[in-house]
Amino acid sequence: MDNDRPIEDILDTIGDEHARRVLASISREPKPAKELAEDCDLSLPTIYRRIEMLEEHDLVKERTLVADDGNHYNVYECQFESTVISLDDEEYRVQIYREENLPERFSQLWDDLSPE
């Protein structure tokens, strides 16, 4: 997680029911906003607000695809594999594991398992 962002912001984002529904829907495959609205049973404005909120924390990425007919459309995809929220020394920590930092994830898990 970006240390410049307050922990409360990421916890509020993850704690939002609609944001979690969006993340669950795109965790399987990238989807356009209209399909997300249908899958999540939410309005398009609600979907766009949640996507914006998730993008602020780099949890969602927007990509532009080209349809067979040449039209362009945007899809949204999940930007992480897992999130761990821990309480250590009376302080919350949020770790977001992304595909590109799997070696770092392994090192962190190893460190967590090692006796101090």
Could you tell me whether strands 60-66 and 91-97 are parallel, antiparallel, or unpaired per DSSP bridges?
A: unpaired
Counting the structural domains of the chain, the total is 1
Task: With respect to residue 1, please indicate whether it lies within any of the assigned structural domains.
Answer: no
Q: Which sign, positive or negative, has the C-alpha torsion 54, 15, 9, 92? A: negative
Task: With respect to residue 71, please indicate whether it lies within any of the assigned structural domains.
Answer: yes
What is the DSSP secondary structure assignment for residue 28, as one 8-state letter?
Answer: T
Task: With respect to residue 109, please indicate whether it lies within any of the assigned structural domains.
Answer: yes
Whole-angstrom distance, CA of residue 114 vs CA of residue 107: 10
Helix spans in 16-101 (H): 17-26, 33-40, 44-56
Query: What is the pTM (predicted TM-score) of this model?
Result: 0.72
Is residue 9 within 8 Å of residue 57, measured between CB atoms? yes
Task: With respect to residue 86, please indicate whether it lies within any of the assigned structural domains.
Answer: yes
Task: With respect to residue 87, please indicate whether it lies within any of the assigned structural domains.
Answer: yes
Q: What is the pLDDT of residue 55?
A: 93
Is residue 61 within 8 Å of residue 44, measured between CB atoms? no
Render pLDDT for 51-95 as a digit per residue (tens, 0 to 9).
999 999 889 999 999 888 989 999 999 988 888 888 888 888 887
Task: With respect to residue 90, please indicate whether it lies within any of the assigned structural domains.
Answer: yes
Domain CATH number, residue 75:
1.10.10.10
Task: With respect to residue 67, please indicate whether it lies within any of the assigned structural domains.
Answer: yes
